[in-house]
Structure 1
Amino acid sequence: MQTPHRWFGAGHSTAADSAKAGAEAATSAIGGRTPAVVFVFASHQHDLPALLMAVRAEAGPHALVVGASTLGELANDGASAGGVSVGALGGEGFTVRAKVAHISDAGHRQAGAEAAEAMAGVTSPHSVLVLLADGLSGDPHEVVRGAYSILGAAVPLVGGFAGGGSDRSKTFQFIGDTVFTDAVVGIALGSDAPIGIGIAHGWHRLDPPMIVTRSRGGRIYELDDEPALDVLLRRNDMVGRPAAELFHDVHALQAIGLSRRNGEDIRVIHDGDDVERSILGMSDVPQGALCWLMAADHEALIQGAVDSCLDALDGLDGKVPLGVLAFDCGARRGRLGPDGMREEMAAMRSALGSTPYAGFYTSGEIARVRGALGTHHLTLVTLALA
C-alpha cells in the first residue's frame, strides 16, 4: 500500500534456490522503491547468507535488513513452509534502528534489555519495539521482561521467537547481512502516524477455574493443591493413562489460559512427568495465577485470526492502513492443517482488504501492550502501520 509520502510492500517466494527466493520476494516487496527497513522471514532450510545477499541487492546499501528463521511463512498470496516472506516499508515519517544482543553472553533478561536499547533516541509520536529472538534457548519470557525493564509501559512490544528445524537444534536471527543464532534482535520503529496491535487466539475457557498452587518457570507441579498431571488427566477423561497419551499429536494440544485484564494469555502444555506428576509449558506459569483449561474448534481459530487483524486496524484511529506484520503460532499451523492454513490466510485477507501483509509462524509470540508480561502461544499477533 502507498500514500503520496510513505509505503509498505510485501513479497513471497517458494523458489528452491535461495538467491532466487530472496530476490523474488524482495523485488515484490520493494518494487524499485527505497526502503527504510526490510523484514525477512525465511525457512532455516535456505542458504541464509545467499538469500540475504539477494535481498540486499534489491534493498540497496542503506536499508536496514532484519529477520528470523521460521516455522512457516505468511504472505499476501498465502502461507508456505520452506519459503521466504518479505515486508518492506519506506517514505517520510519513519524512524528505524536496530540492535542485536546475544543470550549466551548476557542471559535472557539482559539480552532483552540490550535489544531494547535500539529505542534510544527515537522521539516519534508513535513507536513500537519489534523483537525477533531465538526460540530454543529457554526462558523466553525473560527476554520480554528485560525489554520491559528498559522501556516500561510507554512503548509496546511485538514480535516472535524464531523457528528451526525438526531436530529443534538451532534458530536464526538476521541483522544487516549477518546471520546469528542464540540472539535477540530489537527493531525500534517510530512513526508520525498511529500504530495498531492485534492479539487474538480464538480459544475459550473451560470451567471451573484453577489456581496454580506450585510452579517453577514453565513447569507446573500443582493445580488447586493436586498434582497437575492428575488434574489434566481427569479433566480429559484419561485417569490412569500415561502422560504421553495426552500429547500424542498436535491435534491433541493441551492449553492453559492465564487470567489477564483483556482475556487469557495462552500457554501450551506439551509434556508431563509420570513420576513427579508435573506438566510442562512452553513459557512461564506464575505460582498463584488464576487459570483455566482452554479449548477451541476450527471456526473459532479462524475467527481469532480475523479478530487480531481487525483489532490492529482499529488501533490506527481511522487512518488508512499501509501494511501489517503478522506473527502466528506454529502450533496453530499444525492444529489447522494445510487446508486450515489456507482458510486462515483467506480470513486475514478478508479482514485486511487490500492491505499487504508479511510475517511468519513462530515458536512463541510477543505482544505487550499493558503490564510487564508479553509472551504468548497459540495466538496471532498483528502490527498495523498507517
Structure 2
Amino acid sequence: MWIEQRLWTPEGGWTVTETSPGKASLVLYFAAPGALTPESILADLRVAYGNAPILGCTTGGEILGPEVLDDSIVVSALGFDKASVRMASRDLSDVSQSRETGAALARELAGEDLRAIFILSDGTKVNGDSLVAGCLSAVTSDVVVTGGLAGDGARFQTTAVGCSDAMRPGRVAAVGFYGDSLAIGHGSFGGWDEFGPPRTITRSAANVLYELDGEPALDLYKRYLGEEAQGLPGSALLFPLSIRPSGDDAGAEVVRTIVGIDEEAKSMIFAGDVPTGHLARLMRGNFDNLVDGAGRAAEAAAAIKGPSLGLLVSCIGRKLLMGQRIAEEVEIVSDVLGKEASLMGFYSYGEISPHGFTGKCELHNQTMTITTISER
C-alpha cells in the first residue's frame, strides 16, 4: 500500500507532502468550510487522481501529520496492492431517515470479504445513534465501522459531504474496504472528568432531554454552569454529559454533546440519543487527561505494524476547550503510532467507533477516535 498526501492553504495553494508511485485506489479529503468551492475541490482532485473514488466532508478543523490546521484542505490518496474499495451514498431529507439510511448504505456495501466501513455524514441533519444502529443491523459483527459527522467550525449551521461529486448538505456517504490483505485498527477515548452526582433521565425523546430526576433538564444544567450558562448553547461544548444504562459498569459511558437548547420547553438537544432511564453526569475538561485520552486511543489502534494511514476524528468541543494546546493531542497520537503512520483527520460534530470499554460501535462525542488502515 502506498499513500500520497496533499495540503491546500490560502497562502500556498496545493502542496504535495508525500508522493505516489501509481494509480490511486481511494482519495479521502477533509476541507474547511469555504476554503475552496466544493466544485473546485473536486476538479482539482480529479486532475491529480483521475477517476479514483473520492470521499470527503467539511470540518471544524483539519489534521495532517502531527499538525492541527484551520482554513485548509487535507488529502490522502491510497493505493492498494490487493485490497479494493467500494462507495455508496444517500441523501437525508429528515432526521427520521437516519436508521434506514445507515442500513441502506451497509446493505449496498455488504460482501463476504468486507473488512471495514468508514462513514462520513452531514453533521446537523442526522441522528448519529440511529445511523450507526442501522449500519450495524446490516453487516456482520466482524466488520469494523468507524467514521464521523461533518463539521462547520463552531457555527453548527451547514455541513456537507461529497462522494465522487461536489460536497453538499444532507449527504451520508461510506466507503467499504475489502480483502484479506487489509489490517484495520481502531481506538476511541475521551479523557473528560465527571462532576456532580449521577442523575436519572426521567423524560426524553430520542436525542431531546427534558427532565433529570424529575426537574427540567435545562434549569438544572444552567444551575451547574453558573456564569457559563450565559454562553449557551455554544458553551455547552465545554460541558458535555456522560450517559450509561442504569446498572452498567463504570467505563461503559458514552459522551453526549449539546447542539441546541429550547428555552420554552426547558430542554436540551443532543447529537445522539439520551434514553429515558439512563444515568447522566456532567463533565468538564482537564487538558492533561484529554491528551492522555488521545494517547490511549492511539495505543488501542496501534496494533498495525509497517506503513499505515491513521484517520483521526476528534470532537470540535475538544478543540474549542484546548485552544492553542490542541496540537498536543495529535502529537501524542503521532508519537504512539510512529513514523510509519501517515496521519490525517478532522474535528467533527460526532465520532463513530467501537467503544473502548464495551467494544460496541457507537456514536461518541468529545472523543478522539482513530482508524488505522494498512495492507499486509
- Asked if structure 2 preserves the Cα contact closer than 8 Å seen for 1:255 and 1:266, the reply is yes
Task: Give 1:1-386 correspondences, 5 Å limit.
Answer: 6-15=1-10, 20-21=13-14, 24=15, 27-45=16-34, 46-61=36-51, 63-104=52-93, 107-123=97-113, 127-164=115-152, 168-191=156-179, 192-236=181-225, 238=226, 244-245=229-230, 247=232, 250=235, 253-259=238-244, 262-314=251-303, 316=304, 319-337=305-323, 339-354=324-339, 355-368=341-354, 374-386=362-374
- Asked if structure 2 preserves the Cα contact closer than 8 Å seen for 1:29 and 1:87, the reply is no
TM-score (norm 2): 0.87
Between 278-287 and 165-174, the greater mean CA deviation after superposition: 165-174
The residue type paired with residue 185 of structure 2 is G
Distance in 1 (alpha carbons) for counterparts of 2:361 and 2:112: 23
Q: Structure 1 regions of 5+ residues with no counterpart?
A: 1-5
> Relative to structure 1, is the Cα distance of residues 321 and 108 closer, same or farther in structure 2, using a 3 angstrom cutoff?
same
Between 93-102 and 364-373, the greater mean CA deviation after superposition: 364-373
- Asked if structure 2 preserves the Cα contact closer than 8 Å seen for 1:163 and 1:361, the reply is yes
Q: Which digits, 9 at most, give the CA deviation of each residue in 1:98-126, with x for residues without a partner?
A: 001111289222222222234223515xx
In the TM superposition, residue 360 of structure 1 has moved relative to its aligned partner by: 0.9
Give percent identity, aligned residues only: 27
Distance in 1 (alpha carbons) for counterparts of 2:261 and 2:166: 38
- Asked if structure 2 preserves the Cα contact closer than 8 Å seen for 1:73 and 1:80, the reply is yes
- Structure in which a larger fraction of residues adopt helix: 1
In the TM superposition, residue 176 of structure 1 has moved relative to its aligned partner by: 1.5
> Relative to structure 1, is the Cα distance of residues 117 and 309 closer, same or farther in structure 2, using a 3 angstrom cutoff?
same
Q: Could you say what secondary structure the match of 1:221 adopts?
A: strand
In the TM superposition, residue 184 of structure 1 has moved relative to its aligned partner by: 0.6
Q: Match of 1:3?
A: none
The residue type paired with residue 322 of structure 1 is S
In the TM superposition, residue 75 of structure 1 has moved relative to its aligned partner by: 0.6
- Asked if structure 1 preserves the Cα contact closer than 8 Å seen for 2:31 and 2:57, the reply is yes
In the TM superposition, residue 183 of structure 1 has moved relative to its aligned partner by: 0.9
> Relative to structure 1, is the Cα distance of residues 122 and 42 closer, same or farther in structure 2, using a 3 angstrom cutoff?
farther
| Root-mean-square deviation over aligned CA pairs | 2.6
> Relative to structure 1, is the Cα distance of residues 212 and 178 closer, same or farther in structure 2, using a 3 angstrom cutoff?
same
- Asked if structure 1 preserves the Cα contact closer than 8 Å seen for 2:202 and 2:214, the reply is yes
Q: Could you say what secondary structure the match of 1:104 adopts?
A: coil
Between 273-282 and 168-177, the greater mean CA deviation after superposition: 273-282
Between 303-312 and 109-118, the greater mean CA deviation after superposition: 109-118
Q: How many residues align?
A: 364
